[in-house]
Structure 1
Amino acid sequence: MKILRIGAKGAEKPALLDAAGRARDLSAVLPDITAKALRPASLATLRALDPESLPLLPDNARIGLPWAGCGKFICVGLNYADHAAESGMAIPAEPVLFTKHTSTMIGCNDPVVIPQGSVKTDWEVELGVVIGTTARYVSEEQALSHVAGYCVVNDVSEREYQLERGGTWDKGKGCDTFGPVGPWIVTADEVADPQQLDMWLEVNGFRHQKGSTRTMVFNVAQLVSYISRFTTLYPGDLISTGTPPGVGMGVKPHATYLKPGDVMQLSIQGLGTQRQTVHAWNPELIDG
């Protein structure tokens, strides 16, 4: 099942995709797709619906964040060995964790806005893992049972802020609009193996990233288990699991970064496609 939210910012309607890929309005069933709606019982209720009985939503409507009320946006760094190599960093012995502020989160096709003074804004296609049941000190064997579904994430990053401004990665990861998510959540029952998903990202039609979750250093089950030792994971929390090689920072002989007018397009097998246009600093694109 693919669930999403359709409509203008602040006025999104809950929806699911039917067999033909058309968005069906869930408003008569639930007021919104929230963290609570991602729990197993709620998903089972939605799964039992006949999509053909639900009203169609407009084909050209904005796709918003797939769910409302994400409590934590936890990310994993250097989780692909070849990306660590292009970054000039060692393969980690344990997962490298950082957070993105939930205020970074935008719809899959919303504008990405370069921060004031940025010179090194970069792209990263990543597999997102959406939590469906509370996870605290869970085993690797039980970890995937706590996952509601999966989605595409673009972990947009300002490399100067991240690496050259005196400390934590969060500075370069937490800027407004730096977390496009979606277009939808694909529920876990439809993803046979999250470690067998191809992924890619293009900028202006040139394919910079081409990889697979097969080459993760730490797989999804390991990550959910590991993270649950340090913080309780609740329904609606999001884990972004790292990126394969091909980021702008790694382009040889000279790093390449995003500029106004660039168009990013990215996809993960079975999880949909995102497309964002990059804009110069404009608070109206963030708040509007």
Structure 2
Amino acid sequence: MMRGRVAYAGAIHEAWPDANGVRLADGRVRREDELVWLAPIEVGTIFALGLNYAEHAKELQFTKQEEPLVFLKGPGTVIGHRGVTRRPADVAFMHYECELAVVIGQTAQDVKRENAMRHVAGYMIANDYAIRDYLENYYRPNLRVKNRDGGTVLGPWFVDAADVENVTQLELRTFVNGTLQQRGNTRDLVTAIPALIEYLSSFMTLAPGDVILTGTPEGIVNVNAGDEVVCEIDGLGRLVNTIASDADFGRV
């Protein structure tokens, strides 16, 4: 089942896809653009993977990785479907990153990979922006690159794990202003989901609501204020986001 969270008429509602738009928990059906979209779940700790697709690593001229490259993200980074992300005026390279987001459903501590998928509640689409200007280097992202307010878009739906037939064969696509710019498939993950859960849970406890962003494939291009970025993953929906300038946010 797909489900989301939206704000409408002064309240927060659970929501589901409907043939005529979006159905709220009280039965009302509204258009997507009438709603303020929130992240589909209350997000816990966010674990983000870097360089977890081999071709993307080559794209950034990085080829050697002895263990998963993981960093944490703060809650202020998260916005929902149809949200707006600020592009700082002083940057030259701001890149989208379409990613499969894995949501933990059961506490995981020292879990072996053969049992890891039992701890997965479901999946979402993520668009995790990176500002390359602020990198110390391509294999060690710093706070300014990946922990910017509003820089991680999640949604529009949370999809139960049981409703995703084969999470190892999902195609990812990113469109910028309607043009396909990025395409990949989860079969090409360097470190697959079970191994990621085994790795993380070997030294820390994963809790329900924690989210693992599994990395992005090759095909990143610069985005500018006014651009519409749409990320799609098979079976998970279509995540829309708009880029805005400092001036749009009241900054000069």
- Common fold, TM-score beyond 0.5? yes
Quote the residue 2:176 is aligned against: 203
The unaligned stretches of length 5 or more in structure 2 are none
- Of 266, 272, 277, which aligns to 2:231? 266
Quote the residue 2:246 is aligned against: 281
Higher share of residues assigned strand: 2
Quote the residue 1:36 is aligned against: none
Give the C-alpha shift of residue 284 in structure 1.
Answer: 4.9
SS in 1 for 2:197: helix
Contact residue 259 and residue 278 of structure 1 kept, 8 A: yes
Contact residue 150 and residue 271 of structure 1 kept, 8 A: yes
Quote the Cα distance in structure 2 between the aligned partners of 1:10 and 1:128.
29
Quote the residue 2:16 is aligned against: 16
The unaligned stretches of length 5 or more in structure 1 are 27-53, 249-256
- Of 57, 64, 70, which aligns to 2:29? 57
SS in 1 for 2:29: coil
SS in 2 for 1:160: helix
Quote the Cα distance in structure 2 between the aligned partners of 1:74 and 1:116.
28
Contact residue 20 and residue 31 of structure 2 kept, 8 A: no
Q: How does 1:127-142 map to 2 (within 5 A)?
A: 127-142=100-115
CA displacement 1:72-129 (0-9 Å, x = unmatched): 1111111111000010002422111012222110012101111352322111100000
How many residue pairs are counted as aligned between the two chains?
248
Change (3 A) 1:197 1:285: farther
Cα RMSD for the two superposed structures: 2.3
For 1:59, give the aligned amino acid: R
Moved more, 185-194 or 9-18: 9-18
Quote the residue 2:4 is aligned against: 4
Moved beyond 2 Å, runs of 4+ = 8-12, 15-18, 20-26, 59-63, 115-119, 162-165, 167-171, 282-286
- Of 102, 111, 127, which aligns to 2:75? 102
SS in 2 for 1:111: strand
Contact residue 113 and residue 285 of structure 1 kept, 8 A: no
Quote the Cα distance in structure 1 between the aligned partners of 2:215 and 2:208.
21
Contact residue 16 and residue 23 of structure 1 kept, 8 A: yes
- Of 163, 169, 174, which aligns to 2:142? 169
Give the C-alpha shift of residue 148 in structure 1.
Answer: 0.8
Normalised TM-score (structure 1): 0.80
Identity %: 35
Give the C-alpha shift of residue 133 in structure 1.
Answer: 0.8
Quote the residue 1:247 is aligned against: 220
Normalised TM-score (structure 2): 0.90
Quote the Cα distance in structure 2 between the aligned partners of 1:263 and 1:138.
40
Q: How does 1:77-88 map to 2 (within 5 A)?
A: 77-88=50-61
For 1:261, give the aligned amino acid: G
The structure showing larger relative contact order (alpha-carbon pairs under 8 Å, at least 6 residues apart) is 2
Give the C-alpha shift of residue 6 in structure 1.
Answer: 1.8
Quote the Cα distance in structure 1 between the aligned partners of 2:87 and 2:235.
29
Give the C-alpha shift of residue 21 in structure 1.
Answer: 7.6
Quote the residue 2:66 is aligned against: 93
Contact residue 112 and residue 177 of structure 1 kept, 8 A: yes
Contact residue 4 and residue 40 of structure 2 kept, 8 A: yes
